[in-house]
Amino acid sequence: MQDLKVGLIQCELAWEAPEDNRRQFDEVIAGIANNTDLIVLPEMFTTGFSMNALANAEAPGGDTEQWLLQTARVRNCAITGSIAVQVGEAVYNRMLFATPDGCQHYDKRHLFRMAGEHKRYAPGSERVVVNWRGWRILLQVCYDLRFPVFSRNTGDYDLAVYVANWPAARRLHWRSLLQARAIENQACVVGVNRIGSDAKGLDYSGDSLAIDAQGNMLVDPENKNGTANAVLDGAALLRYREGFPCQLDADGFQLTGITLR
């Protein structure tokens, strides 16, 4: 299992301005090393965490998906983050995972009712694991982090990626839960959050983290703008799981109302 080189990008987001945000990320990505395997952007990276769902939603295969695909092909990498996407009458907070070969997606399952997200967006019905360069990657969005059963590792993933707009007021929760998800699932975890303030007056502290399966922090840029780079050690992950196989004693469970793919 090869190492996976990951670039975590945290920055301020222009409110409901997709072109400005894509332009900003183009400039940041230009400075990332060419051998980066995976670039991770925040949740709602083209608009900020806006509840203007219909006004901001793109169609499947729209401008931002095409931008992600072009970036993946030029950089020969995978790139992921979430945006609002409309399918029929429903709008989803959709995490797109683009590679040179195409784009897969995960629709946010747990919608943040304290902001009214559950009234403006439809919940996803699938738990999604994608494969990239020998790594099985679980896709998750922000509030999903609070629900450990949904992200329980049943031997089907090596890395969980969380993209977020997680307010600074609850930064302790964000940091602690990311570390817990790594330890309890014996998997690497990457969480990418934005910084700055949004149009609703909420402040964001960044705290984008890369964590190994034993809970060790690999990168912690705190509130710094830009890219943090991490190398996830595939061989070390396998050795740790083999030497400490606590998953063999895990309790069985079943998710209901969810499709696994």
Q: What is the pLDDT of residue 133?
A: 98
**CA distance to 30, 47, 225, 234, 241, per residue, from 133 (Å):** 22, 30, 28, 11, 19
Mean pLDDT by 10 residues, the chain (261 residues): 97 98 97 96 98 97 98 98 98 98 98 97 97 98 97 96 98 98 98 97 97 98 96 98 93 82 73
Contact of 104 with 79, CB cutoff 8 Å: no
Q: What is the pLDDT of residue 254?
A: 83
Q: What is the pLDDT of residue 62?
A: 98
Q: Give residue 178's identity as a one-letter amino acid code.
A: L
Q: What angle do CA 214, 238, 207 make, to 5 degrees?
A: 35
Domain edges within the chain: 4-246
Please give the positions annotated as active site: 43, 108, 142
CATH number of 4-246: 3.60.110.10
The DSSP output letter for 58 is B
